[in-house]
Every structure is written in structure tokens, then in C-alpha cells.
Amino acid sequence: MNKSINELNADIFQTQNDAKYSDSQHARKKGMDFLALREYGHEELIIKLQGKGYNYQASSEAVQGLKRDGLQDDLRFAESFCRSRYKQGKGPLKIIFELKAKKLPSAIIHSALNDLDVNWLELAREARLKKFGTNPPIDYKEKSRQMRFLQSRGFDSDSISAALKI
């Protein structure tokens, strides 16, 4: 059986004498506490529970139960995450990268982005104007600097080109 690094770490640091850390009902309650504060993705919540000392089995069972009861939903989490990053002025490439790092399936990521209904070209323009003002870049060095800024924000080349043409 191949275990992930998180499973191995949880097994190593798990206190074998403490039964509550192997109890999925106790882990479920802790998971509900986390979900009361904000949304979490499936894998992210398992890792969060393991960080609190619950073993992988208890964490996984607890999150499956929360998902079955509708308390944890990857799509709802992805939509909330996308809205949050959009309001921060982040582009679609950065949002996709961050959601993949949280181990969400590509289908859910793209569904959440499509539901967002955002004009990414306009968002890139707004981000550029906010950072650099209304004057267009006058030389190659300044244009490169603004392009790198927009790339770091997660915008694609079409959005960046449109944002630089004021």
C-alpha cells in the first residue's frame, strides 16, 4: 500500500494512546469547526485534520461523511475561492494554479471559473491601471515590467496585450 507523505507523517507523529485521534466522529466535529469558518476542498480538509493529529483513516472517513451530508463541497469551495481571488485582481491562470495545488479536479476548477462570468481582459486593464496609472509604457523596459506584473497576477498573453493597449 502506497501512502502519501501526509499519511506517513500523520502515522509517525500520531500518539497511539490517544483514541480520539483515530475516531472519525471526533474528526468530523473538528472538520465541522473548520467548515464553520470557511470552505475547504476535500483533500485540503483531510490535510488540515491530519495537522491537528487525526490519523488518515479517521480524517478521510470524517470528510467523506461531511461531503455526503452536503457540508463539504468541492464545487462550492472552488466557486468561493475563485470569487475571492477575482476580487483581489488575480487572473485565471493564477487561480487555476492555486486550485490545482489544493488538489481539486480540473473539471471542478473549470466549472467554477466558467460560473464566475468575468471579463478577464477588463480585469487585466484595471490591475494595470491601478498599479501603473493611465500613461502607457513608453519604452521596452517599462513594457516588460508591466507585462511581468500582469503575468505574475495570472493573466494570459491576450489579456496582457489588451491591457497594455490603452
Based on the fold, state whether residues 44 and 84 are members of the same structural domain.
no
Q: Let me know whether 91 and 134 are in one domain.
A: no
Same domain, 80 and 46: no
pLDDT for position 16: 47
DSSP symbol at 18: -
CB 98, CB 81: distance < 8 Å: yes
Domain span holding position 29: 5-68
Total Cβ atoms within 10 A of residue 148:
11
Indicate if 89 and 34 belong to the same structural domain: no
The CATH number covering residue 136 comes to 1.10.10.10
pLDDT tens digit at each of 166 positions of the chain: 566 666 666 666 554 446 778 888 999 999 999 999 999 999 999 999 999 999 999 999 999 999 999 999 999 999 999 999 999 999 999 999 999 999 999 999 999 999 998 999 999 999 999 999 988 888 999 999 999 999 999 999 999 999 998 6
Whether residue 41 sits in one domain with residue 13: yes
Domain count, the chain: 3
- Amino acid in the structure at residue 8: L
Tell me the three state secondary structure of residue 164.
Answer: helix
| Crossing angle between the packed helical segments 24-37 and 56-68, to the nearest 10 degrees | 60
Amino acid found at 90: K
Closest CA to 164 of 155, 45, 29: 155
Q: Is residue 18 domain-shared with residue 30, that is, in the same domain?
A: yes
